[in-house]
Chain A
Amino acid sequence: MSIIELSLYQQAILLLAGLIALTSFLMLGQSRLVRLVKVFAAQGMLLAATTALAATVLEYPHLYVSAALNLLLKGIVIPLLLQRLIHRLELHRVMDTVDHPARVMMGGAALVVFSYYVSLPVVENSHLVTLNAIAVSLAVVLLGMLLMITRRQAVAHVVGFMSIENGLFFAAVVSTYGMPMVVELGVAFDVLVAAVVFGVFFFQIRASIDSLNVDRLSKLSEVEP
C-alpha cells in the first residue's frame, strides 16, 4: 500500500514522523545549548501531537493519556527544567560546537539508511501502515546517540539521552499503538526520576571540575597518565 491510498490522518502521522526525524537532525547541528533545548521541546510536542493523532484515528483512548504524559514531560517539564538549569549554571552563552558538522550530518543520514535496513524485516510482515515510521523511530534513537558522542557539554548529553527516550516512545506508538499502561507509566516515572538525577549531577559535576565539559572527566581511564 502506498501513501496515496491512506487516509489524510495516516498521511499526517507519516508527515509528523518525517518532521520528528528533522528535529533530530536540527539538534545534531545546533551548537547553542538554549536552542538545543528548544528544538528538543519541539520534538516532544511533535511526538505528543503524533500520539494524539493516532489516538483519534484509532479511537484508542489510552493513547490520549500517553500523549498528554509525553507533552507534559518531554514537551514542557524537562525542557523547562533544563532551561532553568542552563541559566542557573550560566551556560546560556556556552557554544558546544561540533568539530566536523558536515561529517556528522552525513553520518546521521547514514544512520537513517541503516535503521531503514534494520527495520525492513519488521515492516515487511505487517499490514500496519504507520509501521513505516518505525525506521524513523530507530533513527531518532541512533541520532540521539550520535548527538551524545559528538558533544562535550553535559546538558547536550542529557538532551541526547532524552531524545533517545523520545525515539523509543515513538517506536511504541507507531508499532503497537503504545505499550500497556503499567509499562508506560513506569517508563514515564523512570524518565522523570532520571531528569531529576541529571539535575543533581550537573551540580556535582560542576562542583568537582568547575565546568560541565564532560571531556574533562578523564580521571578514570585504563591508560595510565
Chain B
Amino acid sequence: MDLLLVVPVVGMLFLARRGDRAEAGVINVRFNAFALAASLWLAVDVLLHGPALSSGRMFYVDSFNVYLVVLTAFVGWTTSIFSGSYMEHERQIGRVTPRRLRLYYAMYQGFMLAMYLVLTTNNMGVLWVAMEGATLATVLLVSLYRTPESVEAAWKYFILCGVGIAQALFGTVLLYFAAEQKLGVGGGALLWTVLHDNAQALDPAILSLAFVFLLVGYGTKIGLVPLHQWLPDAHSEGPTPMSAILSGLLLNDALYAVVRCKMLVDDSLGTHLAGHLMMGFGLPSFLVAALFLHRQTDIKRLFSYSSIEHMGLMTFAFGIGSPWATFAALFHMTTHSLTKSAIFVTVGHAAQLAGTQRMEKIRGLILTQPAIGWGLLIGTVAIAGFPPFGVFASEFLVLVATMQDYPWLTPLLLLGIGLAFAGLFRHIQPMVYGEVPEGQRAIQANLTPVMVHLALVLWLGLSIPSFLGNWFNQATHLISGVWPQ
C-alpha cells in the first residue's frame, strides 16, 4: 500500500525537474504503470485476505475502495499513454513552454497522488485535505494555455470548488464533534473505521446536519446541479488528458467520499434521509445536464455535460440505496469512467485534427482519419447507453432498481436518457460523417487506449467477469448492508 503512494510522490519530484525532456511522456507512463502494478497487488491482497487496515490506522482498504483504486490507476495509466503523444504535439505547435511541461507532468503525478490518498485514507480529515489537494494540483493545469478563456475557467474552478469544498470541511468538523462526544479525545474520532463501528451511538441530529454540508461540499466536486458551473469550463479549457482524468477519476472519487459519508449517516440515523438527499440532487443533475447537451457548441463542453448527467445518475442510484441500485451505481461508475476517458482521448485527437474545439468546424472525421472517426462514434454510442456496451447494462440495472422502489420516477429517467441520446447524436453525427474541410490531414495519434477501454466496456456489457462481479457484490454488501441476489 505504501508503494502505491510512494510511486506518485517520486514521480512528481522527478518530473518536476525533468518534465521538459522529450522522454518525459514515457517516464510518466512508466510511473503510472508502476502505480497500476502496486494497485493490482493491493487488490489481490484484499481479495485474498479481506479488508486491510494499516498500522497506525491511517489507511484502510476494503473491497469498495480497492476496486476504485485499480480503476483509478488503470485510467491514469492509459490516459498517460495518450498524454505523451498529445503533449508532444502541443509542444511542437508551440502551445506549451518547457516550464509548463514540467508543471504539467509534475501535477499529473500530484493529482494521481491526491486521488490515491482520497481513496485509501481512513481519516475523514485527510480525505478532505487530499480532495482539496486534487483541486490545487489541477487548477494550474486548467489554465496551462494562458488563454483568457482558460484563465477564466481555472479561476471559476478554483473559487467554486474551493468554496464548495469548504462546506465539506465544516461537515467533517461536525462529524468529528459528534464522534468526539461519544468516543472521547484521542479515540480516533475522525477515522472512518472507528466512526463506522460506532455509528449507531452518534447523535443523529448532528450527523444529518453534517451530511448536508458534506453532500454540498463534495457534491460541488461531483458537479451536481446547481453546483456544477465550474465543471464544463474546467473540462473544456484545460489540456485534454486533464479532462479525461478529471471526468474519469476526480468525479468518481468525490462521489466515493459522499458514499462513505452516507454509510456513516445511514447507520446513525436509521432513516433514509441521506439517500433521499442524494436522489434529490442526483435526478435534477441528470435531467438538467441532459437538456444542456442540446445547446453546446464546444465538443469538450458537450462531453462534460454528459459527465454531469452520468454522475447525477450514479448519485441517484446510490441514493436509492437498495442492493441492486448500489450494484448498478458501482457498475456504472466503472463503465462511465472507462468510456468517458476513452471519449476524451478521442476528442483530444479530433480537436487536434481539426485545429479547433468548435463542433461546427469539426467535420468528416471518418473520411480523414477513420480510427478517430470510428472511435468517437463508438464511444458516443457506448456512452449514450446502446447495447451491447456496458453503460447500457448499468443504466438498465439502475432503471430496474428504480422500478422496484420508486416506479413513478422511471419515466423521468427514461426521458433523461432519451434527451441525452438525442443531444449527443445531433452533434456527433455531422462531425463524424460530414464533408471534409479543405486541407484537413490525418495526424499522428495513438488510439490504443481508446480501443482497450471500449473493448473493456463492450466486454462488461456482454458479461461481467466473475472476479469483478464478486467484487461488486462485496462492495454492495458493504455499502447497502445486504447481498444482492
Chain A contacts to B: CB under 8 angstroms: 118-119, 121-122, 124-126, 138, 141, 145, 148, 154, 157, 161, 164-165, 167-168, 171-172, 175-177, 179-180, 182-183, 186-187, 189-190, 193-194, 197-198, 200-201, 204-205, 207-209, 214, 217-220, 222, 224
Q: Which residues of A contact B295 (CB under 8 A)?
A: 222
Per the bound structure, the CA–CA distance linking A188 and B233 in Å amounts to: 28
Give 1 or 0 for each of B262-280: 1 = CB within 8 Å of chain A CB.
0000000000000000000
Q: Beyond A125-B206, A179-B176, A208-B147, is A194–B136 a contact (Cβ under 8 Å)?
A: yes
Contact of B233 among A180, A193, A220 (CB under 8 A): A220
9 A-B pairs with least C-beta separation? A183-B125, A186-B129, A121-B205, A208-B148, A217-B152, A175-B177, A190-B132, A208-B151, A204-B151
Interface: B447 (CB within 8 A): no
Per the bound structure, the CA–CA distance linking A68 and B203 in Å amounts to: 32
Per the bound structure, the CA–CA distance linking A179 and B166 in Å amounts to: 15
Q: Which residues of B contact A141 (CB under 8 A)?
A: 166-167, 170
Per the bound structure, the CA–CA distance linking A208 and B140 in Å amounts to: 15
Chain A residue with the shortest CB-CB distance to B212: A118
Given A180-B123, A217-B152, A220-B156: 4 more A-B contacts, CB < 8 Å: A168-B169, A186-B125, A198-B158, A208-B148
Per the bound structure, the CA–CA distance linking A148 and B151 in Å amounts to: 18
Q: Is the CB of A220 within 8 A of B237?
A: yes
Interface: B180 (CB within 8 A): yes
Interface: B448 (CB within 8 A): no
Q: Which residues of A contact B155 (CB under 8 A)?
A: 154, 201, 205, 214, 217
Q: Which of B341-378 contact A (CB under 8 A)?
A: none
User: Looking at chain A's contact residues, is the secondary structure mostly helix, strand, loop, or mixed?
Assistant: helix
Q: Is the CB of A197 within 8 A of B206?
A: no
Q: Which residues of A contact B159 (CB under 8 A)?
A: 148, 157, 161
Q: Which residues of A contact B209 (CB under 8 A)?
A: 118-119, 121-122
Report the minimum CB–CB distance from A166 to chain B (whole Å).
Answer: 10
Q: Which residues of A contact B236 (CB under 8 A)?
A: 220
Q: Is the CB of A190 within 8 A of B133?
A: yes
Chain B contacts to A: CB under 8 angstroms: 58, 123, 125-126, 128-130, 132-133, 136, 139-140, 143, 146-149, 151-156, 158-159, 162-163, 166-167, 169-170, 173-174, 176-177, 180-181, 185, 189-190, 203, 205-206, 209, 233, 236-237, 292, 295, 297
Q: Is the CB of A176 within 8 A of B176?
A: yes
Per the bound structure, the CA–CA distance linking A161 and B162 in Å amounts to: 8
Max chain B Cβ within 10 angstroms of own Cβ: one of A124, A176, A193: A176
Q: Is the CB of B151 within 8 A of A197?
A: no
Q: Beyond A145-B163, A179-B125, is A122–B136 a contact (Cβ under 8 Å)?
A: no
Chain A residue with the shortest CB-CB distance to B146: A204
Contact of B162 among A176, A180, A194, A200 (CB under 8 A): A194
Chain A residue with the shortest CB-CB distance to B298: A220
Q: Which residues of A contact B176 (CB under 8 A)?
A: 172, 175-176, 179
Q: Which residues of A contact B167 (CB under 8 A)?
A: 141
Report the minimum CB–CB distance from A16 to chain B (whole Å).
Answer: 19
Q: Is the CB of B173 within 8 A of A180?
A: no
Report the minimum CB–CB distance from B427 to chain A (whole Å).
Answer: 15
Q: Which residues of B contact A214 (CB under 8 A)?
A: 155
Report the minimum CB–CB distance from A53 to chain B (whole Å).
Answer: 18
Q: Is the CB of B126 within 8 A of A182?
A: yes
Q: Which residues of A contact B189 (CB under 8 A)?
A: 176
Report the minimum CB–CB distance from B99 to chain A (whole Å).
Answer: 12
Report the minimum CB–CB distance from B101 to chain A (whole Å).
Answer: 17
Per the bound structure, the CA–CA distance linking A208 and B203 in Å amounts to: 50
Q: Beyond A126-B181, A220-B152, is A171–B206 a contact (Cβ under 8 Å)?
A: no
Q: Which residues of A contact B233 (CB under 8 A)?
A: 220
Q: Which residues of B contact A180 (CB under 8 A)?
A: 123, 125, 190
Per the bound structure, the CA–CA distance linking A180 and B185 in Å amounts to: 10
Q: Beyond A148-B163, A183-B125, is A201–B173 a contact (Cβ under 8 Å)?
A: no
Q: Is the CB of A165 within 8 A of B148?
A: no
Chain A residue with the shortest CB-CB distance to B136: A193
Chain B residue with the shortest CB-CB distance to A168: B169
Q: Beyond A122-B209, A183-B125, A201-B154, is A164–B190 a contact (Cβ under 8 Å)?
A: no
Chain B residue with the shortest CB-CB distance to A154: B155
Q: Is the CB of A190 within 8 A of B166?
A: no
Per the bound structure, the CA–CA distance linking A189 and B137 in Å amounts to: 13
Max chain B Cβ within 10 angstroms of own Cβ: one of A141, A145, A208, A224: A208
Q: Which residues of B contact A167 (CB under 8 A)?
A: 170
Q: Is the CB of A219 within 8 A of B292?
A: no
Q: Is the CB of A161 within 8 A of B149?
A: no
